[in-house]
Structures are given as structure tokens and as C-alpha cells.
């Protein structure tokens, strides 16, 4: 295997790994937002929802 092939395969593997991580984080974020929306539809609110914006800086 030549040096250029090794470098190209390494970059490709890194790209796939980073892309997979980005995809997993994006899907997890969508799932968490859906869970929060379902809970809020049931009337369950987040503790931070009642706080004033100017307090706790």
C-alpha cells in the first residue's frame, strides 16, 4: 500500500467516523425534542420554564 493510499483511507475513515457522530447527535437531539414536546403536551413543564429571564445571571 502506497503512502497516498494510506492517507486517503485514513481521511476517509475519519470522515465516516465524524459523520456518524454528527448523525447520531442530530438524531438524539430530535428524539429529545420530541420527548420534551410530548411531556409538555401532557402538561409537564420544565423547572426552568417559570424562571424570570433576568434572574440568576
The predicted-structure confidence for 3-26, as pLDDT tens digits, reads as follows: 999 999 999 999 999 999 999 999
Domain that holds residue 7: 3-43
Residue 48 lies in a domain: no
pLDDT, position 46: 78
Per-residue pLDDT at 52 exceeds 80: no
Residue 49 lies in a domain: no
- Please state the pTM of the whole predicted model: 0.66
pLDDT, position 40: 92
Residue 27 lies in a domain: yes
Residue 14 lies in a domain: yes
How high is the mean pLDDT of the chain? Answer: 89
Whole-number Cα distances in Å, 51 to 16, 54, 57: 42, 9, 11
Residue 54 lies in a domain: no
- Cβ(36)–Cβ(46) below 8 Å: yes
Structural domain count, the chain: 1
Residue 36 lies in a domain: yes
Per-residue b or e along 14-27, where b marks 16 or more CB atoms closer than 10 Å to that residue's CB: eeeeeeeeeeeeee
Amino acid at each position: 500500500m502506497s503512502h497516498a493510499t494510506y492517507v486517503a483511507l485514513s481521511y476517509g475513515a475519519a470522515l465516516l467516523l465524524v459523520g456518524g457522530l454528527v448523525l447520531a447527535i442530530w438524531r438524539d437531539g430530535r428524539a429529545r425534542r420530541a420527548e420534551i414536546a410530548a411531556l409538555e403536551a401532557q402538561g409537564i413543564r420544565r423547572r426552568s420554564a417559570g424562571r424570570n429571564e433576568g434572574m440568576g445571571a
